[in-house]
Amino acid sequence: MNVEEIKQVVQVLAAAIKGLRLYAVDHPATVRQVEALQNGLFSLLQHKKQISMGLLEGTLFVEDHLFMQEFPAANELAKLLESRDLTGFEFLAGLSAKEIQTLLYLIHAGECKGQDFADALKSQGVKRIHAVAAEDEDEDDQKPRKVYRKALKVVDQIFQDVRMGEIPSSTEAIKVVKSMAQLTITEPHAMLALSMLKDYDNYTFTHSVNVSVISLAVGRACKVTDEQLKTLGLGGLLHDLGKLRIDIEIITKPGKLTDAEFEAIKAHPGFGADIIREMEDVTSEVMQIVLGHHLRYDRSGYPQDHTGAIVSPLVEMAAIADAYDAMTTLRSYQRPFTPRNAIARLREVSGSFLHPDFVTSFINSLGAYPVGSLVRLDNNMIALVTKVDPKDTNLIDLKVLFDPDGTLLADPYMIHFHPGQPLRIVSEVDPHSRGIDVTDFFDLDAL
């Protein structure tokens, strides 16, 4: 890559940012600078799909050129990135003048930093420039809620890349799965509680994160190795990637599909595997999960022409997670199963659709009343199961929501439940019969 061209782009970018102190975004002087910047980036992007600009230990680089020697524009950009808690930008082929303008405007406004800056860029419709937020070493970032949110963002980005016909990067996905795998061991109840949050407007990508979280719970229950756990989590995250290549009308169609539509849906594991094959650092076992997640234990299901290639036990674990999340999610044609009903359904299809031993291990790990169950106590109070002790599933934390006469409490309170105490759980209650959504009652700030 031509160093002079790189210097030119850095020069123009620094000048454009400075220029905004004097001129508005739509001033002819700014418009000229945006054009010059766009032309410079175009020529760099002629032979590449994307150009990275960023900081390496405080020094600016563009692709493989590090600005070691004094170059004032590079110093200015390095300082600017640092001040905005960013480590760089990625410019993608096809970027528009409008996207450059929005970037400049956001930099100039200086109102947001780090991940907020990256999010603002995205929310303003900029798809071909990504801002990379500096890693926040805050311990808080390893909290379940933050990790879950990060996973949603990672999947969102991967989906955007696939929609644009690009091969997504696996780096962030691998990183976030590692964090989720750790949390599945240290705080399994929190991760399962988070997986109950279903964002119906963004079903496919919420479902991807939830299947990843539940897959990790299944894997942990089946005592897989740490390495396998990460493979399983990544497979869960990417399992439905191929759906992005299927007509959205079919994917979101409420109610029963026609035979032709179902045939179209059946192509998604294969499409997903095609994308995975091109991604770096994604193992063939992850690919098996993607390709085989609709192949049942008895090898009915689809795609039939690949049954011989699917040999990893992790595929069977991901299939359990996929089934469990689908069952516990509200659809236009299905009220969500309560956790206990979902368990009963898993039992029904155990040995035919799903691996019997893995189903048993998973069910045992959830306990009689899994996290997210609404239960009636023998004094007629109704409470939400917020935590199940993984070592002894009889020890559970309950949040009492309704008093014995059926009144919804203004201030729900916690009780630690164990078999030795006088209260007993007598049954599960369907949240819909009480007109509530259990996820409203998880203390998300504590997760």
* Binding segment (CB under 5 A) for Fe ion, from list 87-95, 155-163, 232-240, 437-445: 232-240
Closest distance to Fe ion from the beta carbon of 293 (Å): 5
Tokens of 333: 């044609």
- Whether the CB-CB separation of 398 and 219 falls below 8 Å is answered with no
Closest distance to Fe ion from the beta carbon of 164 (Å): 22
Q: H-helix or E-strand containing 17?
A: helix 3-19
- CA-nearest of 379, 391, 376 to 433 is 376
* Binding segment (CB under 5 A) for Fe ion, from list 39-47, 166-174, 198-206, 235-243: 235-243
Q: By CB under 5 A, tell whether 285 contacts Fe ion.
A: no
Beta strands 50-56 and 59-62 are antiparallel
- With CB under 5 A as the rule, give the number of residues binding Fe ion: 1
Closest distance to Fe ion from the beta carbon of 90 (Å): 29
Nearest residue relative to Fe ion (C-beta):
240
Residue 161 or 240 having the CB closest to Fe ion: 240
Q: By CB under 5 A, tell whether 325 contacts Fe ion.
A: no
Residue 242 or 339 having the CB closest to Fe ion: 242
The whole-angstrom separation of Cα 212 and Cα 229 is 10
Residue 85 or 325 having the CB closest to Fe ion: 325
Residue 99 or 240 having the CB closest to Fe ion: 240
How crowded is the C-beta side of 313, counted as CA atoms within 13 Å? 13
Closest distance to Fe ion from the beta carbon of 178 (Å): 24
Closest distance to Fe ion from the beta carbon of 294 (Å): 6
Site for Fe ion in 237-256 (CB under 5 A): 240
Long-range contacts of 333-341 (CB under 8 A, 24+ apart): 333/254, 333/255, 333/256, 335/432, 336/198, 338/373, 338/374, 338/428, 338/430, 338/431, 339/366, 339/369, 339/370, 339/371, 339/372, 339/373, 339/428, 340/368, 340/369, 340/370, 340/373, 340/428, 341/428
Closest distance to Fe ion from the beta carbon of 239 (Å): 6
Which residues sit at the interface with Fe ion, rule CB under 5 A? 240
